């Protein structure tokens, strides 16, 4: 038998056994170590998944209709992920009082109205959730808004050049000017104005501090980490949207990257008022399957020098063996059904396991189909730059961590939230 024949047979076998993997996209890499914990970058060593069936209740009953999903399966998944992963919001969480601090009716060269918002937590003079909202000037009816939970607040908030244009060229992708040109509003939330984010620190300084009971120094093991707090902040902004006549509160999209990609997933799962989610490079603790030993793992997240504060204390119990959890992240993705969600990743972001996010989308698809929507077929693994799916979609850009393809992101938004003309 010729070498060419041997190679053909080998490749055919690989295509049959692994129909949804493109090895030319994510090649194996040498193993590594982060915080003294091994990191695997070899696909053959990820382990056996044995994912829980998203359409089977904890007591083993199949879920075959929307009623059972909405009344039984969805609530039990939500509660489990809430108490074991991100943490529940305590009843003592502060009330938020919204104030329009200032308004510029001629923002972005007269194309937008800009409002500076402050969501005071606990009292009118309490620490404030910092938001900048742009809506199209002259809009005759409420507009859909992309809410961006962002690290780079000064630029996206309009206090820097990114809020406008790149010199004399077109609006910078993802900027307020870009969204306004497409008929959308744009809101930027300073995530650290909700709760702080200092690696290896407790981060009980703002919202979570205000929620502490007398004598309590830290949230209980089943109470909110910072991801849940940041998601809570998004929901409080949703409260504001319902009072602003310039905003169509039923057509709100949210997006965030990295830890904020995890955050928008959890916000979308919790708050069904959110119409659409674009989660960018959330990785471990977001959409990437925890049972896959590839790239970052739960053990990396919760090691004391890194990010245990982002999650409920209970999350640490899964560090040694994620398979002991009754769920995996496909269940988190499924909680957003039937609303549209795009999982956006980067081919060079191996640490975040983009293929693990794809597999989570595939495993969540039955929940979308149960509710009359469409997801992703397992034999349609995305080529770089190709968005696959429907209401549940997946995209792998040609970049690394945090890479975005705003043309495709806006195409996804236009499909489900397109501004009325």
The full 3-state SS of 240-284, as one line of letters, equals: HHCCCCCEEEEEEEEEEECHHHHHHHHHHHHCCCCCEEEEECCCC
- Where b means 16+ CB within 10 Å and e means fewer, 182-193 reads bbbbbbbbbbbb
State how far the Cα of 146 lies from the Cα of 247, in Å rounded to an integer: 11
3-state SS class at 144: strand
DSSP 8-state symbol, 52: P
State how far the Cα of 162 lies from the Cα of 186, in Å rounded to an integer: 13
CA atoms within 13 A on the CB side of 105: 2
Are the beta carbons of 111 and 136 closer than 8 angstroms? yes
- Where b means 16+ CB within 10 Å and e means fewer, 146-168 reads bbbbbbebebbbbeeebbbbeee
Look up tokens 């060079």; give the residue.
348
Instruction: Name the phi and psi angles at 322, rounded to 5.
Output: -60, -20
Tokens of 348: 């060079």
Tokens of 64: 């075959």
Instruction: Name the phi and psi angles at 389, rounded to 5.
Output: 110, -165
Query: Nearest-CA neighbor of 302 among 209, 227, 405, 395?
Result: 227
State how far the Cα of 115 lies from the Cα of 369, in Å rounded to an integer: 40
Long-range pairs, 299-302, Cβ under 8 A, ≥24: 299/37, 300/34, 300/35, 300/37, 300/39
As annotated, the active-site residues are 258, 401
Q: Partners of 62 in the beta sheet?
A: 56
Instruction: Name the phi and psi angles at 59, rounded to 5.
Output: -90, 15
Query: Nearest-CA neighbor of 359 among 257, 281, 288?
Result: 288
């Amino acid at each position: 038998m010729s070498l060419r024949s041997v190679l053909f047979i080998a490749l055919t076998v690989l295509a049959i056994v692994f129909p949804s993997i493109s090895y030319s996209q994510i090649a194996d890499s040498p193993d590594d170590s982060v915080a003294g914990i091994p990191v695997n970058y070899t696909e053959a060593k990820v382990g056996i998944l044995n994912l829980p069936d998203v359409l089977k209740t904890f007591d083993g009953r199949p879920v075959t209709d929307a009623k059972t999903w909405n009344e039984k399966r969805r609530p039990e998944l939500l509660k489990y992920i809430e108490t074991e992963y991100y943490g529940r919001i305590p009843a003592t969480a502060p009330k938020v009082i919204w104030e329009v601090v200032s308004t510029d009716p001629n923002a972005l060269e007269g194309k937008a109205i800009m409002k500076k918002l402050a969501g005071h937590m606990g009292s009118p003079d309490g620490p404030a959730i910092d938001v900048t909202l742009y809506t199209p000037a002259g809009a005759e009816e409420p507009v859909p808004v992309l809410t961006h939970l962002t690290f780079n607040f000064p630029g996206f908030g309009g206090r820097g050049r990114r809020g406008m244009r790149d010199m004399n060229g077109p609006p910078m992708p993802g900027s307020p000017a870009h969204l306004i040109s497409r008929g959308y509003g744009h809101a930027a939330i300073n995530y650290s104005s909700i709760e702080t984010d200092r690696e290896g620190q407790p981060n009980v300084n703002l919202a979570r501090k205000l929620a502490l009971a007398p004598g309590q120094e830290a949230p209980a093991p089943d109470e909110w980490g910072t991801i849940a707090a940041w998601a809570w902040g998004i929901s409080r902004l949703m409260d504001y949207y319902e009072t602003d006549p310039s905003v169509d509160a039923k057509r709100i999209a949210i997006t965030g990257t990295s830890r904020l990609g995890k955050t928008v997933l959890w916000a979308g799962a919790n708050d069904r008022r959110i119409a659409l989610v674009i989660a960018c490079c959330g990785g471990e603790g977001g959409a990437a399957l925890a049972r896959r030993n590839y790239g970052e793992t739960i053990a990396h997240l919760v090691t004391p020098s890194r990010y245990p504060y982002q999650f409920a204390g209970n999350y640490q119990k899964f560090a040694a063996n994620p398979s002991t959890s009754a769920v995996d992240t496909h269940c988190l993705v499924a909680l957003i059904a039937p609303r549209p969600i795009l999982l956006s990743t980067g081919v060079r972001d191996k640490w975040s396991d983009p293929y693990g996010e794809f597999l989570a989308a595939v495993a969540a698809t039955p929940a979308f189909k149960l509710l009359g929507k469409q997801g992703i077929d397992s034999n349609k693994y995305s080529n770089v730059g190709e968005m696959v799916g429907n209401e549940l979609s997946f995209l792998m850009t040609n970049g690394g961590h945090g890479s975005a393809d705003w043309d495709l992101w806006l195409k996804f938004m236009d499909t489900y939230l397109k501004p009325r003309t």
